[in-house]
Amino acid sequence: MKDLLGISTETWDLYEKAMQEVKEMFLKVDEICEYNSAKVMAAFFEAQISEAHFDMTTGYGYNDLGREKVEEVYAKIFQAESALVRNQFISGSHALAKTLFGLLRPNDLLLSINGLPYDTLQEVIGIQDNPSSLKSYGVIYHQIDLKEDDFDYSKITEFLNQHTVKVVMIQRSRGYASRKSLSIEKCEEVISLIKKVSPKTIVMVDNCYCEFVTKKEPTQVGADVVVGSLIKNLGGGLAPNGGYVVGKKEYIDFIAEALTLPGEGREVGPSLGANKVFLQGLFLAPSVVASALKTSILTSAMLKKLNYQVEPEPLEERVDIVEKITFGNRKDLISYCEGIQSGSPIDSFAKPIPIHMPGYQDEIIMACGAFTQGSSIELSCDGPLRSPFSAFQQGGLTFDTAKVGILKAIDKLIEGRNEE
Ligand SMILES: *Cc1c(COP(=O)(O)O)cnc(C)c1O
């Protein structure tokens, strides 16, 4: 394998040592994969999925039996009343935006309890000016920062006691922030606090990158609405685009009316062939997430040995599939991303260069040689070109193919360091 890929002995030795160290972690990942696979299978049995559900509708998309079954399966997996799983959602960002527009009305208060939300939501909310933001419709926004990588429980209580908050927003995965991702246990604690202090407040969770990483999803610990992307975990690498929203029926119905149109809501939306890939992607998702987790764990172990700061640490419990690597300098960040690109199945010959992207504030370098554009359940690595030059790596449809990407990237990194 080493010769086939032209990997240096130095990188190969590092890989073999790292694999020894992370054995136990891989067993834990397999155990969670086994559980979540059973969860998916049980939902398929209960919903009695059959070949007829692969059929599609066109046009308005009325009476799309397959689409309804996809949504039934999602609702069962999340133990939720209702689900909206649609190819009309472009991706996670769009599903999140429609969720907020569906739930909030003029003068309503939206509260983020993990500080600044994900980059693409900042113009949606109006934190960054945009004439079509929620703010432009009179929605008021407030945020409470995290305290030592956990919720600031006393500030949240105080704020909820003083104001009527319509929606509390929790983002589990860190996005491009330096904080840690938020575990299901922490979510459970803060949601029960919110429900005690302000029972009418809707708790919405951005679950991107966290699905199937542990055994429970946020709806199982009290979240009212949970949102995610199908070009991440639950698409299983097969969904060509899309997003999902699950939770309480009354809220999901509002979101459906925001996605399509008032009066038609969830009744329209042609599936255009998405039903089969959504079901098959979901079927594969627990295994794909396990591969992505193993890829992140291996990356963490190898880069730690090269003295880069990694988060999570190789043996640390994980909340999401993301590995944050802090390179400390521009050159190493760029060589690592170039290496990931060169070890990707698609466009391995291309060289990623830093550019400005819509929705993001800094210049960004993105390595993503994926079958689906921008898919980050496939091995991908990106980072804003600002100090301390951190990259966020995630994905890996199979561990053995993603491992090739990691070996190539680390080889490139070591090569660059040795030249100095
Ligand atoms: C990726 C991500 C999003 C946006 O999802 P897309 O599918 O890329 O639009 C939102 N929130 C978080 C935390 C994410 O990681």
Q: By alpha-carbon position, which residue is closest to atom 5 of ligand 1?
A: 92
CATH for 240:
3.40.640.10
| Atom number of ligand 1 nearest to Cα 171 | 13
Q: Give tens-digit pLDDT for 394-414.
A: 999 999 999 999 999 999 999
Q: How far is the CA of 403 from the centre of ligand 1 (A)?
A: 24
Q: How far is the CA of 229 from the centre of ligand 1 (A)?
A: 7
Task: Count the domains in the chain.
Answer: 2
pLDDT score for 176? 85
- Among 210, 240, 274, the domain boundary falls at 274
Q: Which of 173, 254, 185, 158 is nearest to 209 (CA)?
A: 173
**DSSP code string of 214-276:** SS--GGGGT-SEEEEETTTGGGTTT-SS-EEEEE-HHHHHHHHHHHS-TTTGGG----TTHHH
Spatial CB neighbours of 59, under 8 Å, sequence gap ≥ 6: 270
pLDDT score for 254? 98
Q: What is the dihedral of CA 298, 364, 177, 204, to 10 degrees?
A: -100
Asked if residue 104 has pLDDT above 70, the reply is yes
pLDDT score for 358? 76
* Residues 85 and 209 reside in one and the same domain: yes
Ligand 1 pocket residues where CB is under 6 Å? 91-93, 96, 118, 120, 171, 173, 175, 206, 208-209, 229, 231-232
pLDDT score for 361? 75
Cα separation, 146 vs 148, whole angstroms: 6
Mean pLDDT in the chain? Answer: 97
pLDDT score for 178? 86
CB atoms inside a 10 Å sphere around CB 263? 8
Cα separation, 15 vs 413, whole angstroms: 14
pLDDT score for 307? 97
* Residues 94 and 215 reside in one and the same domain: yes
Q: By alpha-carbon position, which residue is closest to atom 12 of ligand 1?
A: 208
* Residues 291 and 243 reside in one and the same domain: no
Mean pLDDT confidence for 15-35: 98
Mean pLDDT confidence for 327-347: 96
Q: Give tens-digit pLDDT for 77-102.
A: 999 999 999 999 999 999 999 999 99
Q: How far is the CA of 98 from the centre of ligand 1 (A)?
A: 14
Q: How far is the CA of 118 from the centre of ligand 1 (A)?
A: 7
If one residue of 229, 241, 319 were mutated to test the ligand 1 pocket, choosing by the most ligand atoms within 8 A of its CB, it would be: 229
Q: Give tens-digit pLDDT for 54-76.
A: 999 999 999 999 999 999 999 99
Owning domain of residue 331: 2-37+283-419
pLDDT score for 17? 98
Residue 250 lies in a domain: yes
Cα separation, 126 vs 148, whole angstroms: 27
* Residues 127 and 266 reside in one and the same domain: yes
- Among 274, 308, 337, the domain boundary falls at 274
| Atom number of ligand 1 nearest to Cα 320 | 15
Q: Give tens-digit pLDDT for 370-388.
A: 999 999 999 999 998 999 9
Please tell me whether the overall predicted TM-score, pTM, comes out greater than 0.95 for this model. Answer: yes
CATH for 371:
3.90.1150.60
Cα separation, 247 vs 225, whole angstroms: 4
Q: Give tens-digit pLDDT for 176-206.
A: 888 999 999 999 999 999 999 999 999 999 9
Asked if residue 360 has pLDDT above 80, the reply is no
Cα separation, 243 vs 255, whole angstroms: 12
Q: How far is the CA of 97 from the centre of ligand 1 (A)?
A: 11
- Beta carbons of 413 and 339 less than 8 angstroms apart: yes
272 pLDDT tier (thresholds 50, 70, 90): very high
Cα separation, 241 vs 239, whole angstroms: 5
Q: By alpha-carbon position, which residue is closest to atom 1 of ligand 1?
A: 208
Q: What is the dihedral of CA 174, 369, 286, 273, to 10 degrees?
A: 110
- Beta carbons of 107 and 140 less than 8 angstroms apart: yes
Cα separation, 40 vs 2, whole angstroms: 37
* Residues 151 and 261 reside in one and the same domain: yes
Q: How far is the CA of 197 from the centre of ligand 1 (A)?
A: 29
pLDDT score for 310? 98
| Atom number of ligand 1 nearest to Cα 172 | 13
Q: Tell me whether strands 140-143 and 323-326 are parallel, antiparallel or unpaired.
A: unpaired
Cα separation, 301 vs 294, whole angstroms: 11
Spatial CB neighbours of 315, under 8 Å, sequence gap ≥ 6: 21, 22, 24, 25
Amino acid sitting at position 260: T
Asked if residue 359 has pLDDT above 70, the reply is no
Q: How far is the CA of 343 from the centre of ligand 1 (A)?
A: 24
- Among 274, 302, 332, the domain boundary falls at 274
- Beta carbons of 391 and 327 less than 8 angstroms apart: yes
* Residues 132 and 252 reside in one and the same domain: yes
| Atom number of ligand 1 nearest to Cα 231 | 7
The number of residues in the chain equals: 420
* Residues 293 and 153 reside in one and the same domain: no
pLDDT score for 45? 98
Q: How far is the CA of 30 from the centre of ligand 1 (A)?
A: 25
* Residues 105 and 174 reside in one and the same domain: yes
